Structure 1
Amino acid sequence: MPQHILLVEDEESISRPLAFLLEREGYRVSVAGDGAAAVTAFEELAPNLVLLDLMLPLMPGTEVCRTIRQSSQVPIIMLTAKDSEIDIVVGLELGADDYITKPYSTRELLARVRAALRRGASTTPEPEEPEDSHVLDELGIKLDVERHTVLVRGEETAMPLREFELLEILMRHSGRVLTRGQLIDRVWGSNYYGDTKTLDVHIKRIRARIEESPSQPKLISTVRGVGYRFA
């Protein structure tokens, strides 16, 4: 199930494109346009993360943060045009996990969202590693980790390192959906600042190498809004 983000922003010109960006990355997004609505939405929706603007009508973002922290440790990232040291300190002392000033790059924002979700108590847990095996053999795909070789229906197929690592992770968790965030963390590392398009391109290339019909994949399935699954 996609992780749920509550976006608290009163300017629609900011909230609409930001919500679209987050949804494109696979998150479920709810938007609140003022502080009071944010508190109500948080109580009703129990999101996995809050993106919180400081300058809000009815109730300031600092008070929203304080209210949420009275009952929850859900990750909070403050978004604001204020960038003075005192503003940052106040925000963090109120319990915010991170602080991003406007304007911000989308790459940085997405990286910080992923990092905050990993730290949060509601983060989707990392999949447990199955029993280790140097050779994975399933559905005509035989992957030898030590030799770094892949046989596709009996024929050896060259595969670059990133693609090989992705295929290995997917095969080790065959039948299980892995989120985009989990795959990115495993292959590119937790400090990766790019977007998920890189992952999607690599999956497309893997499919071109292992699928009988890459346009109608049967081995690596896309689970819309979540991630990918092998078999």
Structure 2
Amino acid sequence: MLLVEDDEVIRKTVTMALERYGYRMSMAGDGLTGLESYREQRHDLLLLDVMLPVLDGIGLCRKVREWSQVPILMMSARGDGLDVVAGLEAGADDYVVKPVDTSVLVARMRSLLRRAAFRPASGNPPEPAPGVASDLVFGDLTIDPGGLEVRRAGEPVALAPTELRLLLAFAANPGIVLDRRTLLRDVWDYGWDGDSRVVDLCVQRLRKKIGAERIETVRGFGYKLRR
């Protein structure tokens, strides 16, 4: 794991806490150093503070997303939503507000790593989502649940692990409205009520990739994939 945090005390404290959970940690004190570190060694997960010198966490997240779908967890000292929205729009998978309890941080990290297992690998592909086996076709959109591949008009669509899980959840329930709480449970693995903004912003990112008209908003209830 790579932790990018400019506060030395927080950086060392969080690193020591996570190492006690068995994680192998690398550290960086600014965004540019963090970017170089990740380019040199592909870490399994990135923990990014928002307020970083040289290159802030939002900018770092955007740069990483240009060529990598590594799980990214943003850490913000503000809970007013500004950093949260900016981080999620930049491509982060989730966020926590500092100070955060180590057990909560670890739970969020484990959830992201489970979701990352949905990415195609060189070995056997992960199990397809329950209830879907063969290719699913929705207009110009084709989903291969077993191979975890998505094509639009015949062209491959690059989806982050969370976006892919979200699409598979919709594809398993075409035409059925899924509320945010259900999506947080099934896609984000939250055993508790999470912030629905992560759902809304991930839906926005997914719409840009598969077509805005494909996912319909049902106001007051949630979202559904059009048949």
Per the normalisation by structure 1, the TM-score is 0.51
SS at match of 1:7: strand
Shift in alpha-carbon separation, 1:13–1:122, aligned structure 2, 3 A = farther
> Which residue of structure 1 aligns with residue 217 of structure 2?
none
3, 16, 25: which one pairs with 2:12?
A: 16
109, 112, 117: which one pairs with 1:116?
A: 112
67, 77, 85: which one pairs with 1:89?
A: 85
Q: CA deviation at 1:87?
A: 2.2
- Aligned positions of 1:50-129 closer than 5 A: 50-121=46-117
Q: CA deviation at 1:40?
A: 0.0
Shift in alpha-carbon separation, 1:101–1:79, aligned structure 2, 3 A = same
| Matched AA of 1:32 | A
> Which residue of structure 1 aligns with residue 38 of structure 2?
42
Q: CA deviation at 1:17?
A: 1.3
Q: CA deviation at 1:22?
A: 1.1
Q: CA deviation at 1:12?
A: 1.0
Query: In the TM superposition, what whole-angstrom CA distance separates every residue of 1:76-133 from its partner, at most 9, and x where no partner exists?
Result: 000110222232111101100011111111111110011011111588999x9xxxxx
Note if contact 1:73-1:121 (Cα within 8 Å) is conserved in structure 2. Answer: no
Whole-angstrom CA distance in 1 between matches of 2:79 and 2:32: 24
The structure whose RCO (Cα within 8 Å, separation 6+) is larger is: 1
SS at match of 1:104: coil
| Matched AA of 1:54 | V
Q: Identity across aligned pairs (percent)? A: 46
Whole-angstrom CA distance in 1 between matches of 2:191 and 2:11: 24
Superposed CA RMSD: 2.6
Whole-angstrom CA distance in 1 between matches of 2:20 and 2:191: 18
Note if contact 1:35-1:57 (Cα within 8 Å) is conserved in structure 2. Answer: yes
1:28 aligns with 2:1: no
Structure number with bigger Rg: 1
> Which residue of structure 1 aligns with residue 195 of structure 2?
none
Per the normalisation by structure 2, the TM-score is 0.52
Shift in alpha-carbon separation, 1:60–1:83, aligned structure 2, 3 A = same
Shift in alpha-carbon separation, 1:90–1:20, aligned structure 2, 3 A = same
Whole-angstrom CA distance in 2 between matches of 1:9 and 1:62: 13
> Can you give the 5+ residue segments of structure 2 that lack an aligned partner in the other structure?
127-188, 193-227
Note if contact 2:18-2:102 (Cα within 8 Å) is conserved in structure 1. Answer: no
> Which residue of structure 2 aligns with residue 153 of structure 1?
none
Whole-angstrom CA distance in 2 between matches of 1:57 and 1:121: 32
Q: CA deviation at 1:51?
A: 0.3
Query: In the TM superposition, what whole-angstrom CA distance separates every residue of 1:182-203 from its partner, at most 9, and x where no partner exists?
Result: xxxxxxxx6679xxxxxxxxxx
**Structure 1 residue ranges, 4+ long, deviating more than 2 angstroms after superposition:** 121-126, 190-193
> Which residue of structure 2 aligns with residue 221 of structure 1?
none
